Amino acid sequence: MNDAKRADLTQFARAVRRHIVRMAGGGGCFLGASLSCADLITYLYKEELRFHPERPGDDDRDVLLLSKGHDVPALYGAFVELGMLAPERLANHLSPHDHIYWHPNRSIPGVEFHSGSLGHCLSVGMGIAYDFRLRGIDNRVFVILGDGELNEGSVWESLLVACAYKLENLVVVVDRNGFQANVRTEELIPLEPLATKFVAFGGQVCEVDGHDFDALERGFGLLRQARAQRPGVLIARTRRGKGIAQIEDRADRWFCRLSDAEVAAMLAELDGGASSALQSGTLVVR
């Protein structure tokens, strides 16, 4: 990857993070999970997906589904930066007069399917991928799963079927940020060795640093070349809350409802300022 492209992606991802932080003001959002996949979503829309932002409904587009759902501020931030969503609409976050709420829904152009209940979108993506195959077209389907979501049996059930049907036009992307709600995955239901599990199920697996655009390029490139009648699995090692030192890798910072001052300080931090202090409380479900 050349420097110009890397710089462009870095700037795009920073802009996405700025939108995410703003959405954590007011009524709040799932800040940690959104920040962990901001680079992933940036890379996918800018580099990997066959996708034209000016024609998001095009027949030749690749499809991206957010199965984990909580990360939707990252998606909407990307949509704004791609010119698909008016920036002022993000100010309607949680307003009853718009459709920008805590989980994705198809009222927002570019959202392919709603989510919120975990463990659904892999099977939905398989249906889309199967249709692509029936039509003899080479579009692909990407499904972003959370690592906590991997507790759901339906994920593994669907993976069995995806492998049985050799859906090589399907790519599972795991945002491996190490947390589910307010606990580390390894402290509740351990997932490691995770790559081994996906290999055993029959996937073509690749594990990379999910915040390193060069690594993402290598990983997705590898999966593109080595389809070999198997669904691809990219495990993206990420940090929850990536970009804001005070909430990075913290179990208690799952859902954040920030004050205006905190939002301002975090925006400054994203622009290279000092690490912001965090005063507001957090939602703890466990």
Partner 1 sequence: MSASYGEQLLELARADERVIVMTAENRAPIRALPPQLGARFVDTGITEQTMVGMAAGLALRGRIPVVHALATFLTMRAFEFIRTDVGLPALPVKIVGTVPGILSEANGPTHQALEDVALLRGVPNVCVFCPADADDLVAALPAIVADPSPWYIRHCERPAPAGVRHEPFSIGRAEVFAQSEGDDVALIVLGALFRETWEAAALLRAQGISVRVINVRCADPFDARAIVAAASECTLLVTVEDHFATGGLYSLVCETLVRNGVAAPLASVSCGDEWFTPALLEDAIMASGFSPSAIAARVCTALAARSTATAL
Binding site for partner 1 (CB under 8 A): 106, 112-114, 116-117, 119-134, 154, 157-158, 160-161, 164-165
> What count of Cα atoms within 13 Å lies in the side-chain half-sphere of residue 182?
9
Residue type, 264: A
The total of other beta-carbon atoms located within 10 Å of residue 7's CB is 11
128, 62 contact by CB (below 8 A): no
CB of 30 to partner 1, least distance (A): 19
Whichever of 127 and 221 has its CB closer to partner 1, that residue is: 127
104, 110 contact by CB (below 8 A): no
CB of 148 to partner 1, least distance (A): 18
CB of 112 to partner 1, least distance (A): 8
CB of 250 to partner 1, least distance (A): 31
181, 285 contact by CB (below 8 A): yes
CB of 132 to partner 1, least distance (A): 8
Whichever of 112 and 149 has its CB closer to partner 1, that residue is: 112
Whichever of 12 and 51 has its CB closer to partner 1, that residue is: 51
Greatest alpha-carbon pair distance for the chain in Å reads: 55
State how far the Cα of 162 lies from the Cα of 152, in Å rounded to an integer.
16
What is the SS3 string spanning 72-101? HHHHHHHHHHCCCCCHHHHHHCCCCCCCCC
Whichever of 142 and 179 has its CB closer to partner 1, that residue is: 142
Whichever of 43 and 132 has its CB closer to partner 1, that residue is: 132
Structure tokens at 269: 């931090």
β strands within 100-256, DSSP E: 141-146, 170-176, 179-180, 183-184, 204-209, 232-237, 255-256
CB of 68 to partner 1, least distance (A): 15
Whichever of 77 and 125 has its CB closer to partner 1, that residue is: 125
- Give SS3 for 166: coil
Length of the chain: 286
